[in-house]
């Protein structure tokens, strides 16, 4: 009897010991780290969102490659991304490439190395993304393209593109011009300040505008040059246009507000009245451009919304929950004329 009791106590002690060390818990009760790993693996395989694995047990990590800081639009975009990440409780790794695609590649590679959950890229130029996105895909990290679009053979290399319809912005600018100048005498000489060479907003806004006025033979393109979306370069290039073509220039189409603001300075210094002697159309809708609209120094601003942060963070969370995103998420935008400016200027958030 005594011996049996002895064995019983011995056995009980072993069971207690093993339970405390976790050995008897087996696969159904993994350690914390294993649990997180398992959670993410099951999300990877999940077809449908699964209630048990979401929200995850740790903050999501987003690597964001911003293309630069060339304009007020870009500043607003960066702020929006940072604020929205904080609000959503997403850990943000932020890299500014200062207009270099090579630096964007480096940033993306560093995100892959750090095994972030999602990568988002605002691509400086339209082409050349195939190889780097293959690297991300091979690492199993989903990529969101935001703001500018890319030209790529295999669209499975990114999950979604969140941003404006840049071609449509050019169309809107062209339509405004046709309406504004419908009673004017030919020829109507115009100049164009393009954005960064090879960037999708410059390519697409330019095409949209051109295609809209094609067939209207009263329009004569006097000059078109890239001014990198900056105010400084906008002023410098406009100065050159004025020296070359003087008062033949009756219209300026600037691919963004910053370049238009620079051009306004050049036009005033040349002794002409912006918005009167030269009709000015630009894109973005920054507060500074609105102030010029109110003064009648810009005639039309086509809106392009930089506040994409909340959309990007939502996409990150949807991906983490295993949901499929639409391939294209387009932000909605308006057109503002001088007449509307006074009422709207107070509402501008950027
Ligand atoms: O219009 C311009 C900026 O990519 C849509 O980039 C964006 C453009 C924006 O620098 O101001």
Name the residue of 65, 74, 167, 350 to mutate for ligand 1: max ligand atoms within 8 A of Cβ. 74
Q: At what angle do helices 309-320 and 72-88 cross, to 10 degrees?
A: 40
User: In the chain, what are the domain boundaries?
Assistant: 61-163+307-331, 167-304
pLDDT at 34 over 90: no
State the pLDDT at residue 144: 98
Helix (H, G, I), strand (E, B) or coil at 337: strand
- Res. 42: pLDDT tops 90: no
* In CATH, 167-304 is 3.40.50.300: no
Q: pLDDT > 90: what percent of the chain?
A: 80
- Give the pLDDT mean for 275-289: 98
Contact assessment for residue 99 and residue 87, using Cβ atoms and an 8 Å cutoff: no
Cis peptide leading into 51, omega within 30 of 0? no
214 falls in which pLDDT band (50, 70, 90)?
very high
Centroid of ligand 1 to alpha carbon of 256 (angstroms): 7
pLDDT at 15: 36
Is it the case that residue 284 has pLDDT exceeding 80? yes
Dist CA 127 CA 322 (whole Å): 29
The residue whose two tokens read 């499975």 is 156
Ligand 1-lining residues (CB < 6 angstroms)? 70-71, 73-74, 147-148, 201, 229, 256, 283-284, 304
Tell me the CA–centroid distance for residue 74 and ligand 1, in Å.
6
The stretch 25-45 carries a mean pLDDT of: 32
Asked: is 61-163+307-331 a CATH 3.40.50.150 domain? The reply is: no
For residue 72, the ligand 1 atom closest to its alpha carbon is: 11
**Predicted pLDDT at 57:** 75
Same fold, 61-163+307-331 and 167-304: yes
pLDDT bracket for residue 332 (50, 70, 90): confident
Query: What is the CA(201)–ligand 1 centre distance, in A?
Result: 7
49-65 mean pLDDT: 73
Task: Answer yes or no: is pLDDT of 53 > 70.
Answer: no
Tell me the average pLDDT across 82-109: 98
Q: pLDDT by residue (tens digit) across 135-193?
A: 999 999 999 999 999 999 999 999 999 999 999 999 999 999 999 999 999 999 999 99
Query: What tokens appear for 139 in the block?
Result: 């690492």
Closest-CA residue, ligand 1 atom 8, reads 201
Q: Is the pLDDT of residue 97 over 90?
A: yes
pLDDT band at 23 (very low <50, low <70, confident <90, very high): very low
Q: How confident is the model at residue 3 (pLDDT cuts 50, 70, 90)?
A: very low
- pLDDT at residue number 8: 45
Note the pLDDT of residue 38: 31
Distance from the alpha carbon of residue 238 to the mean position of ligand 1, in angstroms: 19
Q: Which of 77, 97, 163, 201 should be mutated for ligand 1, with most atoms under 8 A from CB?
A: 201
- Interstrand relation of 335-337 and 300-303 (parallel, antiparallel or unpaired): antiparallel
How confident is the model at residue 347, as a pLDDT?
87
Q: What is the mean pLDDT of the chain?
A: 87
Tens digits of residue pLDDT in 219-277:
999 999 999 999 999 999 999 999 999 999 999 999 999 999 999 999 999 999 999 99
Percentage of residues in the chain having pLDDT higher than 70: 84
Assign 54 a pLDDT band (cuts: 50, 70, 90). low
Of 51-65, 209-223, 279-293, 319-333, minimum mean pLDDT range:
51-65
- Residue in 111, 115, 118 with CA at minimum distance from that of residue 90: 118
DSSP bridge partners of 120: 64, 144
Report in angstroms the alpha-carbon separations of 105 from 47, 149, 303, 315: 31, 16, 30, 22
Residues 294-321 have a mean pLDDT of 97
Q: Pseudo-torsion of CA 25, 31, 35, 38, nearest 10°?
A: -70
In this structure, what is the dihedral angle of CA atoms 201, 312, 306, 208, given to the nearest 10 degrees? Answer: 30
């Amino acid at each position: 009897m005594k011996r049996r009791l002895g064995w019983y106590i011995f056995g009980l002690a072993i069971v207690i010991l093993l339970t405390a060390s976790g050995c008897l818990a087996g696969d159904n009760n993994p350690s914390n780290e294993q649990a997180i790993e398992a959670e993410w693996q099951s999300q990877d395989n999940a077809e449908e969102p699964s209630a048990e694995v979401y929200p995850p047990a740790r903050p999501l990590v987003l690597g964001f490659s911003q293309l630069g800081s060339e304009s007020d639009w870009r500043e607003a975009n960066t702020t929006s991304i940072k604020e929205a990440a904080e609000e959503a409780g997403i850990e943000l790794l932020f890299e500014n490439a200062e207009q270099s695609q090579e630096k964007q590649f480096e940033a993306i590679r560093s995100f892959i190395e750090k095994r972030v959950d999602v990568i988002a890229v605002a691509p400086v130029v339209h082409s050349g993304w195939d190889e780097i996105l293959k690297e991300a895909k091979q690492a199993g990290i989903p990529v969101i393209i935001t703001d500018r679009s890319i030209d790529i053979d295999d669209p499975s290399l990114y999950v979604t593109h969140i941003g404006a319809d840049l071609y449509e912005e050019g169309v809107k600018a062209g339509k405004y011009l046709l309406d504004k100048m419908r009673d004017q005498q030919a020829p109507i000489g115009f100049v164009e300040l393009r954005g960064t060479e090879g960037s999708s907003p410059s390519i697409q806004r330019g095409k949209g505008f051109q295609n809209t006025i094609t067939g209207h033979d009263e329009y004569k393109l006097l000059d078109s040059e890239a001014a990198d979306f900056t105010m400084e370069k906008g002023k410098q290039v406009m100065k050159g246009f004025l020296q070359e073509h003087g008062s033949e220039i009756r219209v300026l189409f600037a691919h963004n507000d910053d370049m238009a603001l620079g051009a306004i300075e050049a036009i005033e210094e040349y002794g002409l009245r912006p918005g009167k002697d030269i009709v000015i159309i630009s894109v973005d809708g920054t507060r500074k451009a609105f102030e010029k609209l109110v003064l009648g120094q810009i005639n039309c601003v086509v809106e392009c919304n930089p506040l994409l942060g909340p959309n990007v963070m939502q996409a990150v969370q949807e991906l983490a929950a295993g949901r499929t995103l639409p391939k294209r998420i387009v932000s909605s935008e308006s057109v503002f004329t001088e007449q509307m400016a006074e009422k709207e200027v107070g509402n501008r958030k950027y």
